[in-house]
Amino acid sequence: MLFASTLLSAALLMLASVTALPQHEEGGLMGRQSSCPSGSFRANTTACAPCPAGNTCSGGRNRPDPCDTGLYQPNTGSTSCLRTPPGFFTNRRGSAMPTPCPAGSYQPYSRQAFCYGAPRGRFQQQTGKSFVCATCCGWATTMNNNNVNPVKCGGAAPFAWPNSGDGCISRPTSCTPAATCAQAANGTCHSNFSFTAGQTIRG
């Protein structure tokens, strides 16, 4: 206790002598004032402020460090960033929130800055998904990429194989055309045709 109070007196003495230094002197009082706890940064000469969302702060005299692309941080006062989950992307540094993949795209991996487009024969009707659905028997996609909705084959070409990216055909197939090919409200794909991370085709 005696030792501690002696130390304190010594520190106060030092502080008093340092106060006499010009305010702008390098390594002087300014340097000491600049030390902030981790999760905060020096906002000005008198205050530390909580680290802004989208950034990490290691404290001391360091400035906020923006989260890299593929990472984000919704909270203030943080020392680490979070990984963008599958189905989302973060393409800007310093992001507070990840962005859901738009309909017609998907992202099976975490920490990504983009989404893959649903390739031919595959589609994704919902946002924020990590997988694509394959077209059902009798349905096809119309585009090579970014397919949101499959189209039902009809007229002179009412047939198509499941997972058809080659459009509709007039020749009958061995499968029975499905009445609907919509995704369920919960995002699961129709019937047996869904493709998850290990099975996806990168668009």
Tell me the number of residues near ligand NAG by CB under 6 A: 10
* Nearest distance in Å: CB 47, ligand NAG: 4
Q: Which residue is nearest to ligand NAG (CB)?
A: 191
Shortest distance, position 184 Cβ to ligand NAG, whole Å: 4
Indicate if the alpha-carbon torsion angle 116, 121, 124, 130 is positive or negative: negative
Q: How far apart are CA 103 and CA 112, in angstroms?
A: 17
E strand intervals along 51-200: 55-56, 65-66, 71-72, 82-83, 88-89, 99-100, 105-106, 116-117, 122-123, 132-134, 139-140, 151-152, 194-195
- Please give the residues from 29 up to 68 whose contact with ligand NAG meets the rule CB under 6 A: 43-44, 46-47, 49
Site string for ligand NAG, 166-195 (x = CB under 6 A): ------------------x-x-x--xx---
- Answer yes or no: are the C-beta atoms of 145 and 203 closer than 8 Å: yes
Q: Which is nearer to ligand NAG, 76 or 99 (CB)?
A: 76
Residues that bind ligand NAG (CB under 6 A): 43-44, 46-47, 49, 184, 186, 188, 191-192
